[in-house]
Amino acid sequence: MQALIERQQTKKAPPLFKAVIQSTYKENFAFRSSMAVSLIVQPIYFLVNYFIWQAVFQVNDTVSGFTLKTMLYYFAVSSLLGFLNWDNADGSLQWLVQTGRFITYQLRPVHYLYYSFFQKVGHRILAFWVEILPIIGFYLLFKIYPIPVMPIWALVSVSLSFVLSFLINYIIGTIAFWLVKTDGLRRAIMVIKDVCSGIFLPLTLFPSIIQKFLFILPFQFISYVPARVFMGSYELAGIKLSIPQIVGLQALMVVVTFFLNRLVWHLGIKRFTGVGA
Amino acid sequence: MSRNLSLPSPEKQQAYRSTFLQWFKIYIHGMKTAFASRMAYRGDFFMSMFIMMVVELFGPLITLLIYHNGASFPGWERHEVLLLQGVFLLSRGIAFPFFMGMVWNTISRVQEGTYDLLLIKPRSILQMSIVTAFDSEDLGKLIGGILMFAYAMKSVPTPPFTNWVSFLLLFIFSLLSMFAFGLFMSGLGIVWIGNYRIYEIFMSVMDFGLYPRSIFNKLFQTIITWVIPISLLGSFPASALLGKEISGVLGAMLCAIGFLIFGLWFYHRMVRNYTSAGG
Amino acid sequence: MIKVDKLTKTYTTYERGGTFREALKSLVVRKKKMVEALKEVSFEIGEGELIGFLGPNGAGKSTTLKILTGILYPTSGAVEIMGYVPWKDRKKYVANIGAVFGQKSQLLFDIPPMDSFLLNQSIYNIPEQAFRKTMNEMVEMLDLEKIVRKPTRQLSLGERMKCEFIMAMLHRPKIVFLDEPTIGLDVIAKGKIRDFIHEQNKNGTTFILTTHDLEDVEQLAKRVIVVNHGEIVFDNSMDHLRKHLGDKKSVHVTTRNPLPSLAQPGILIRKQHSNRDVELELDLSKLKLNEFIKEMNEKSIINDMSIESLEIENIIKDLYSQE
């Protein structure tokens, strides 16, 4: 008996990231029917968009450089990116701060940022077969094959967007350090984020002044950039960049956002402990 | 036992209850309480309301960008599409604060176990679900709808009186259809416990109503007119106001009535389901 | 006033597996499981009674309560309360009852209780005069004058619970159902609420109290119904309940000299603190109290001794553990 206990103690514990991924996956498994609602919702949105563009392209051959085929391709890819990049880092963090529960994470040896990120990974692995694969299957019915022109670059770009969207949502969550009720504000930022990231429409459709503005914001790197990398060419606000260039810029944006994230967190904690809550 | 004297007799209570006035009085009271509750977080309230409004104004975004890029929906001018969307948002702006809250109310109460508290009140469960669900911040949607409608009307030549009459009639049907949607979603919320995404299904289906009916293929045109009265939400009332030729209005109106009756039946079926379950 | 006859409630649940394979399988074939929540339960309650309705978790307590309040339909059996069948004439029936749930608030969180009361006034259609009279009476009785105009979220749990009582009784219900009404409250708040219930009961209101707090039951109920496994295992007065396990006493004794052997009929050792200090249960039908004291004193010399009736907790434990 004693030997057994010793053996268990000497056996190395599984790495934390693996444990977090697994527990998040299992926790959310019970809610997969709720997740699967996307399988009704997304095809409906796609159909509406399909009809919109079909009607529009009846009169016009191209709109802002897009044909019916490339427009639907863009819509499909950006929607898949939306599912892949979705997370609730902002909501969870807000809840933890407002209920004071986030203290329990401060007492742990691992930073909550790390924890939260691997929660996202676990959650998205579940989403991969519940939401993403079936929706890809649906797109295939419309002969839309979401295969990137340059697979390696696309993989890099998608991974970067995965991290970037997490970091941005996390920053939005830290607003809870300053405001008691943040639901309204968070919703507002989320809508702006979605519109500016190009999840509904290619950003080149916007008026050129707005395009210049969108080019400066970090949001395009969440959805518009990886979608364009999938298509093999990038353009916004009249600026044309090669794929390596834009992916390099995306990587830079991830680094900048990371440091911004740390800064905001630091200020938030300072305020939190300063107030003495 | 003087306390019994002050109670109205059961017959009298019955008479009170059946009047529409009484119903309305309770509704207004529920509305006032909801407002008072929401005012506890004034800052967040105005912020949320403002955001609701702005989010609604994003509805026509795709349309605006399409026309901005020189493209168009066949047979529809830019201002005509905007009017259609204005009508749609107006209808949604009335539905959401005033009765659509019952969906969220039902889902969350069933999940938390407080749905029972509505069942021990001497009113119909539908009435209680609506009375306790006035959603004040959704008034932002109404403001958004009014703004959109007014903006689109500026570019429309003044419609003759008869157009207004048929518009109003169809707009009432639009609201009735919204209500039927609410019934279906609430019913679903009773059995599909804790699934707040029911709203999303509803919003996505309604997306068909944000565009002219003519852009859809024959099959979908039939579905959104004869099966689910989505054409009535925006397309038909707007067409009536613009004096555009429309076919199948009568059918759509019949469909809406059928849809409402079916919605009521479904809702009560699900309530019955709840009250005969156990655990 | 309340007549319950052979009330039965069965429902089906579906078993769902946790693994992916089981989940896939459950999409095709679902394992049905019949649960018998109530098995032919019958009882009657008269006007003005104050009944303690007890049972362990999952015994059928809340199912009964839900049926009696018109929330749930039974599978079979009959219920008649004040001439109504609760689930059939729900709207008319519930106008005559009230309910307080310790764990589910009827007050609106962000506004003062007063505003919640007013909403109830319109829902129950209570005439203004009667409403004011009842409310003032109750507010005074519960010391809530300064409380009812503060937002509910600022109130203490005790204050909130008192307001829940007013909320449930503004329309002067003839029967009030209480579900864990003192859960989480401090001693003073509990006492105040118990006094209130007593007072209202004296005025003729019938109360049905479900709780896990046995002190509530001891201090309030005159009659107790205990359900277990969907059946009534006890239905009699509080005094009968106390004697349910026979005429027994709970004894704590400390002695100067080591205790004699206690292995004799009529003595059950509960806790032996040392060889001079013991807690035991005495069955008076087998061993008389004076004989026990005499023997203890002669053999070990009693230092201190307390004799009490058996705690109701033990009786209830015994009823709950019966198969």
Nearest residue in C to A30, CA atom? C18
Among residues C242, C271, C302, the one where a domain terminates is C242
Q: How confident is the model over B23-39, as pLDDT tens digits? A: 888 999 999 999 998 88
Best mutation target among B37, B141, B199, B215 (most A Cβ atoms within 10 Å) is B215
Give, rounded to a whole angstrom, the gap between the first and last alpha carbons of chain B. Answer: 39
Q: Is residue C153 part of a domain?
A: yes
What band does C22 get if pLDDT is binned at 50, 70 and 90?
low
Q: What is the per-residue pLDDT for B4?
A: 42
CB contact A110 to B (< 8 Å):
no
User: In terms of Cα–Cα distance, which of A249, A247, A252, A253 is closest to A156?
Assistant: A247
Shared domain for C79 and C184, answered yes or no, is yes
Q: What is the per-residue pLDDT for A271?
A: 83
Q: What mean pLDDT is predicted for residues A78-105?
A: 88
Judge whether residue C20 has pLDDT over 80: no
Q: What is the per-residue pLDDT for C203?
A: 92
| Dist. CA C160–CA C154, nearest whole Å | 9
Q: What is the per-residue pLDDT for C52?
A: 93
What band does A82 get if pLDDT is binned at 50, 70 and 90?
very high
Beta-carbon count within 10 A of A169 CB: 25
CA distances from C173 to A112, B177, C95, C134, C167 (A): 53, 39, 7, 11, 11
CB contact A46 to B (< 8 Å):
no
CA distances from A53 to A62, B74, B118 (A): 11, 11, 46
What band does A276 get if pLDDT is binned at 50, 70 and 90?
very low
Contact call for B278 and C125, based on CB within 8 A: no
Judge whether residue A5 has pLDDT over 80: no
| Dist. CA B83–CA B156, nearest whole Å | 8
Q: Record the tokens describing residue A62, joined without a space.
A: 């191209």
CB contact B7 to C (< 8 Å):
yes
Chain C residues inside the 8 Å CB shell of B114: 104
CB contact B131 to C (< 8 Å):
yes
Q: What mean pLDDT is predicted for residues C109-121?
A: 92
Judge whether residue A186 has pLDDT over 90: no
CB contact A64 to B (< 8 Å):
yes
Judge whether residue B5 has pLDDT over 50: no
Q: Which of A92-106, B118-132, C150-164 bottoms out in mean pLDDT, i.e. has the lowest? A: A92-106
Shared domain for C200 and C315, answered yes or no, is no
Q: What is the per-residue pLDDT for A3?
A: 53
Shared domain for C76 and C167, answered yes or no, is yes
Q: What is the average pLDDT value for chain C, to the nearest integer?
A: 88
Nearest residue in C to A32, CA atom? C23
What is the value of ipTM here, to two decimals?
0.85
| Dist. CA A220–CA A227, nearest whole Å | 10
Chain C residues inside the 8 Å CB shell of A29: 18, 23
Judge whether residue C23 has pLDDT over 60: no
Residue type, A150: M
Give the closest-approach CA distance of A96 to chain C in angstroms.
Answer: 20
| Dist. CA A29–CA A21, nearest whole Å | 12
Q: Record the tokens describing residue A192, joined without a space.
A: 């702006």
Give the residue numbers spanning the domain of C286. Answer: 248-321
Q: What is the average pLDDT value for chain A, to the nearest integer?
A: 88
Among residues C197, C219, C242, the one where a domain terminates is C242
Chain A residues inside the 8 Å CB shell of B73: 52, 55-56
According to DSSP, the β-strands at C248-255 and C223-228 are: unpaired
Judge whether residue C309 has pLDDT over 70: yes
| Dist. CA C67–CA C209, nearest whole Å | 15
> What is the domain partition of chain B in residue ranges?
21-276
Q: What mean pLDDT is predicted for residues C145-152?
A: 92
Give how far the C-alpha of residue C165 lies from the chain's centroid of Cα atoms, to the nearest Å. Answer: 16
| Beta-bridge partner residues of C80 | C3
**CATH number (domain holding residue C168):** 3.40.50.300
Nearest residue in A to C17, CA atom? A30
Q: What is the per-residue pLDDT for A105?
A: 83
Number of domains in chain A: 1
Shared domain for C144 and C205, answered yes or no, is yes
User: In terms of Cα–Cα distance, which of B244, B110, B114 is closest to B189?
Assistant: B110
Give the closest-approach CA distance of A188 to chain B in angstroms.
Answer: 6
Q: Record the tokens describing residue A117, joined without a space.
A: 């990120």
CB contact B122 to C (< 8 Å):
yes
Contact at 8 Å (CB) between B8 and C92? no
**CATH number (domain holding residue C294):** 3.30.70
Judge whether residue C275 has pLDDT over 90: no
Contact call for B40 and C111, based on CB within 8 A: yes
Q: Is residue C5 part of a domain?
A: no
Sign of CA dihedral A221, A222, A223, A227: positive
What band does B6 get if pLDDT is binned at 50, 70 and 90?
very low
Contact call for A187 and B54, based on CB within 8 A: no
Q: What is the per-residue pLDDT for B2?
A: 38
Q: Alpha helices, DSSP H only, in chain B?
A: 10-18, 20-38, 42-57, 61-68, 78-95, 101-112, 115-119, 125-131, 139-154, 161-191, 198-206, 218-222, 235-242, 249-276
Judge whether residue A134 has pLDDT over 80: yes
Q: What is the per-residue pLDDT for B247?
A: 80
| DSSP structure class, residue B216 | S
Classify residue B102 by burial, with Cβ atoms within 10 Å: 0-12, 13-18, 19+.
Answer: buried
Contact at 8 Å (CB) between C24 and A129? no
Among residues C226, C242, C258, the one where a domain terminates is C242
CB contact B12 to C (< 8 Å):
no
| Dist. CA C87–CA C100, nearest whole Å | 19
3-state secondary structure of C99: strand
Q: What is the pTM of this model?
A: 0.86
Q: Is residue C7 part of a domain?
A: no
**Residues in CB range of C286: below 8 A, 6 or more apart:** C265, C266
Number of domains in chain C: 2
Chain B residues inside the 8 Å CB shell of C101: 116-117
Q: Record the tokens describing residue B194, joined without a space.
A: 């804790």
Q: Record the tokens describing residue C96, joined without a space.
A: 């005559």
User: In terms of Cα–Cα distance, which of B257, B210, B219, B172 is closest to B86?
Assistant: B210
What band does A100 get if pLDDT is binned at 50, 70 and 90?
confident
Q: Which of B64-73, B230-239, C18-27, C304-313 bottoms out in mean pLDDT, i.e. has the lowest? A: C18-27
Nearest residue in B to A41, CA atom? B201
What band does C25 get if pLDDT is binned at 50, 70 and 90?
low
Judge whether residue C248 has pLDDT over 90: no
| Dist. CA B98–CA B142, nearest whole Å | 10
**Sequential DSSP letters for C29-88:** --EEEEEEEEEEEEEEE-TT-EEEEE--TTSSHHHHHHHHTTSS--SEEEEEETTB-TTT
Contact call for C125 and B116, based on CB within 8 A: no
**Residues in CB range of C68: below 8 A, 6 or more apart:** C2, C4, C79, C81, C86, C177, C208
Beta-carbon count within 10 A of A128 CB: 12
Q: How confident is the model over A13-69, as pLDDT tens digits? A: 778 888 888 888 888 887 788 888 889 999 999 999 999 999 999 888 888 889 999
Q: What is the per-residue pLDDT for B12?
A: 54
Q: Which of B2-16, B119-133, C111-125, C227-241 bottoms out in mean pLDDT, i.e. has the lowest? A: B2-16
User: In terms of Cα–Cα distance, which of B208, B262, B247, B204 is closest to B231?
Assistant: B208
Q: What is the per-residue pLDDT for B1?
A: 34
Q: Is residue C40 part of a domain?
A: no
3-state secondary structure of C234: strand
Higher pLDDT, A182 or C64: C64
Q: Is residue C27 part of a domain?
A: no
Q: What percent of chain C stands above pLDDT 90?
A: 50
CB contact B65 to A (< 8 Å):
yes
Chains that touch A (3 or more CB pairs under 8 A): B, C
Contact at 8 Å (CB) between A56 and A104? no
Q: What values do phi and psi take at A177, rounded to 5?
A: -65, -25
Beta-carbon count within 10 A of C212 CB: 14
3-state secondary structure of A234: strand
CB contact A185 to B (< 8 Å):
yes
Q: How confident is the model over A196-242, as pLDDT tens digits? A: 999 888 999 999 999 999 999 999 999 999 999 999 999 998 899 99
| Dist. CA C82–CA C47, nearest whole Å | 10
Chain B residues inside the 8 Å CB shell of C205: none
Q: What mean pLDDT is predicted for residues B194-203?
A: 85
| Beta-bridge partner residues of C274 | C277
Contact call for B278 and C35, based on CB within 8 A: yes
User: In terms of Cα–Cα distance, which of C37, C30, C84 is closest to C58?
Assistant: C37
Judge whether residue C124 has pLDDT over 90: yes
Q: Is residue A8 part of a domain?
A: no
Shared domain for C261 and C128, answered yes or no, is no
Give the residue numbers spanning the domain of A66. Answer: 16-275
Q: What is the per-residue pLDDT for B9?
A: 55
Q: Is residue C114 part of a domain?
A: yes
Residue type, C101: F
